[in-house]
Structure 1
Amino acid sequence: MKLYNLKDHNEQVSFAQAVKQGLGQQQGLFFPLELPAFESTDIDALLEMDFVSRSSKILSAFIGDEIEPAQLQQRVAAAFAFPAPVAAVTDDIACLELFHGPTLAFKDFGGRFMAQMLAFVSGADEQITILTATSGDTGAAVAHAFYGMDNVRVVILYPQGKISPLQEKLFCTLGGNIQTIAVEGDFDDCQALVKQAFDDEALKQAIGLNSANSINISRLLAQVCYYFEAVAQLPQEKRNQLVISVPSGNFGDLTAGLLAKALGLPVKRFIAATNANDTVPRFLADGEWRPHRTVATLSNAMDVSQPNNWPRVEELFRRKTWRLSDLGFGAVTDEATQAAMRELAGLGYVSEPHAAIAWRLLRDQLQDGEYGLFLGTAHPAKFKESVDAILGQSLPLPAALADRVDLPLLSDTLPASFAPLRAFLLQQQQ
């Protein structure tokens, strides 16, 4: 598999290089040089397979001969060791539940697959530092995926006071090879610090720097697989007019869905669902890219004003000669999010803010004869405080959360400045 740097098309790397390197020169994202596509008969055959076998075929179409099929399937089986069920909400809308993994969020798929790939492509004595920023769920997924792995140190930046307490408990209580830093700023500040670190060649070499954000191609490709799993669970008559609404912050999940469509998955259209951090909806409405300062919302994992993956979305639309005007979009206020959560509860489905935003826009934009899926990206209990208050009930905690709720936080605190972070990374190196 060859990938090219979106900021410098002359920089081309293998899949293994892209996994280890994370970002290209000038902080450029890697993108597949060839876009594989399945025939419709191949799609039908794929949809008849089990999740792991199908996912191995999909990933092999991208990765090519860099990993033997049997080895790849073994790695996929280790990563995707939990289901992604489709739960009906109404006659024409269902939720793809992506929160049945160990950290109760969709990022378990990408985080665990990346851990498997990094272990495969790295040398036994190669020291690696994973530096990543999280707006809530990436941190836990990456921390648990790499926890206890030899020669891998994980440093996670998150905006202090801007993620839910239970999200924080999931990844800031592990210790060992997992180090967490509460940054005095917002997620965009955290993301900017990660990019600065990748621009520092001396630092990169000194600590073996890598990233586990959705900028890493292995995470992105893993997410393609559960879109196929969703369609495989639908009866044939519901596959023909399928609309998928994706809660979007950094836009990795939407990029993966669009790659699934490029492979041949029958999706009529996608909806990019955001909160008040609405850079992309405004861009799709008027063609002007004008990021505002990030604002804190109920759906904190989507509090991103400068989404990293948007260049990949634009590149895919360009390569496939699709029209951006065909992409559905919308932004939902906190007040409307709460109303959507209550409405879903009235339908017998308890959800959290991110999925509720995707459902609200799907409900509003679904046309007669269409069938809608919205992505449930996190377990409602990860947002217990807000869900309990909005719905007037007390959610029980799943074991993954209950086991950590009383553990002390082990985080350091740093200002949103690169010099202290650089010093931390060099001084704290294990």
Structure 2
Amino acid sequence: MKYISTRGNIQPVGFKEAVMMGLATDGGLLLPERIPAIDAATLSSWRQLPYRELAFRIISLFADDIPANDLKRLIDSSYDSFDHKEITPVVKENGVYIAELFHGPTLAFKDVALQFLGNLFEYLLKESGQKMNIVGATSGDTGSAAIYGVRGKENINIFILHPHGKTSPIQARQMTTVLDANVHNIAVKGTFDDCQNIVKELFNDLTFKEKYALGAVNSINWARVLAQVVYYFYAWFRVSDEVDSPITFSVPTGNFGDIFAGFVAKRMGLPIDKLLLATNENNILTRFINEGDYSIGSVVQTVSPSMDIQVASNFERYLYYLFDENPARVRDIFTRFAATGRMDFTDEEMRTVRREFASRSVNEQETLDTIAAFHQETGYLLDPHTAVGVKAALACVTDGTAVCLATAHPAKFGEAVEKATGTAPPFPACLAGIEQLPTRCEIMEANRTAIEKFIAEKAR
């Protein structure tokens, strides 16, 4: 399997090189030259597989330059730190199926991919004898999951930028209480989009990128998306065992990475009816799907901070397919977007979008009301991001079955849950005492030059 750029200006590379490259050297995002098609017989044969084996079957289709035994070992060990034997179990509450993706070490769905990516990086660096400096931006969950995926690993430094004061307190502490020498947290005085822009600029500076061997853990790294494809298959098998109706996945998202993994699963042949994109008040993606309006607005701070994003970095991968795999069209629309802050689409393109996706924006009060009502009716606690997905599903899925992706444990957003229900969520054992732990973090302006200098000073 070879990988190409959405912008069309690199020679095809293998999976291993794609993982290490992160962002394509022409500024685009990497994608496989083709997405494998899974027939009905293969789907049937996968139905009862345990999670680790299913992950191996799917990932091996895209990673054929790693020996099968090595790949299986990397995948198996990636889920040893999860506290549920099913890895991503599915529960049913009040007629809604919920895929719990928060059973990893940092209690967020990012663990599913980043435990694997950390092991993959370590394996590839040992094979090549090289060192890597990971640089990533986070709106809350990617940072801690990435840090836990590589903390203490040989030949890796990690630099995580997060918006200062704009994550939940638990999210911030999960990052900044990790004191391993290879971990560096940078709290940026700005928004997630400021953090993401700085990271992209660093990766687009090819001289800096090559000198300091930068590696990517954001969902710009294809391996992140690939690992997330697996839980769509796993959840679909669990739910379709119980229902015989069209299945829609409701996905709370800000950066388009998680829902793009669902798009890949559907393109492979998984019989998903619709992908329901659920946003909070930072609703650029909802405006795009419902109105054809993809234009930058101001970031609004909400109780679902991981979705407080305007520019969705993974959206470019979807556009490549929307534009019939035409990289020239991708390059053109991003050139115009850089100049104007908006994208324009044809009527036919928007009809294509709406065949694949539906969308609903959920405001702050609706989010809190959903947490409260769902808890009162079922006893089940939703974190605010999952509540956005549940509210969207309850409002939009009138024909068929909804599967909502639960992206974080409610304890990570205890203030919002307590505000909604009057009761603080119980703390899992892995968070016990985290408020008292020492922290280490650099608070910096949203200035690329200063951050670049800090990375250069600390880099391996």
Structure 1, residues 213-245: CA drift from partner, whole Å, max 9, x if none?
001011110000111111222243525410110
- Structure 2 counterpart SS, 1:257: helix
In structure 1, what residue type is equivalent to 2:112? F
Partner residue in 2 for 1:406: 436
Displacement of 1:409: 2.0
Partner residue in 2 for 1:420: 450
Equivalent residue in structure 2 for 1:336, among 366, 369, 372: 366
Q: Is the 8 A contact 1:99 1:105 kept in 2?
A: yes
Equivalent residue in structure 2 for 1:193, among 195, 198, 203: 198
CA distance in 1: counterparts of 2:241 and 2:432, whole angstroms: 40
Equivalent residue in structure 1 for 2:282, among 272, 277, 284: 277
CA distance in 2: counterparts of 1:135 and 1:193, whole angstroms: 14
Q: Is the 8 A contact 1:7 1:25 kept in 2?
A: no
Aligned residues: 427
- Structure 2 counterpart SS, 1:356: helix
1:71 paired with 2:73, answer no
- Structure 2 counterpart SS, 1:350: coil
Structure 1, residues 271-303: CA drift from partner, whole Å, max 9, x if none?
011111111111122223211121111110001
* TM-score normalized by the length of structure 1: 0.96
Q: Which runs of 5+ in 1 are unaligned?
A: none
Partner residue in 2 for 1:137: 141
Counterparts of residues 200-279 of structure 1 (less than 5 Å): 200-238=205-243, 240-279=245-284
Displacement of 1:94: 1.1
Counterparts of residues 385-404 of structure 1 (less than 5 Å): 385-404=415-434
Displacement of 1:414: 0.8
- Structure 2 counterpart SS, 1:100: coil
Partner residue in 1 for 2:33: 33
In structure 1, what residue type is equivalent to 2:139? S
1:351 paired with 2:382, answer yes
CA distance in 1: counterparts of 2:421 and 2:242, whole angstroms: 34
- Structure 1 counterpart SS, 2:166: coil
Counterparts of residues 88-237 of structure 1 (less than 5 Å): 88-91=92-95, 93-122=96-125, 123=127, 125-175=129-179, 176-237=181-242
Partner residue in 1 for 2:340: none
Structure 1, residues 135-168: CA drift from partner, whole Å, max 9, x if none?
0000010000000000100000000000001111
In structure 1, what residue type is equivalent to 2:391? R
- Structure 1 counterpart SS, 2:295: coil
Structure 1, residues 383-426: CA drift from partner, whole Å, max 9, x if none?
01121122101222112211422112200011001110011011
CA distance in 1: counterparts of 2:70 and 2:429, whole angstroms: 32
* Matched-pair identity in %: 33
Displacement of 1:202: 2.5
RMSD: 1.6
Structure 1 residues 204 and 235, CA gap change in structure 2 (3 angstroms): closer
Structure 1, residues 308-352: CA drift from partner, whole Å, max 9, x if none?
001112223455999211211011111111111111112222111
Structure 1, residues 23-51: CA drift from partner, whole Å, max 9, x if none?
11342100110110110111011112111
Displacement of 1:198: 0.7
CA distance in 1: counterparts of 2:294 and 2:234, whole angstroms: 34
1:366 paired with 2:397, answer yes
User: Which consecutive segments of 4 or more residues in structure 1 shift more than 3 A?
Assistant: 316-322
Q: Is the 8 A contact 2:161 2:188 kept in 1?
A: yes
Greater CA drift, 297-306 or 282-291: 282-291
In structure 2, what residue type is equivalent to 1:365? C
In structure 2, what residue type is equivalent to 1:66? D
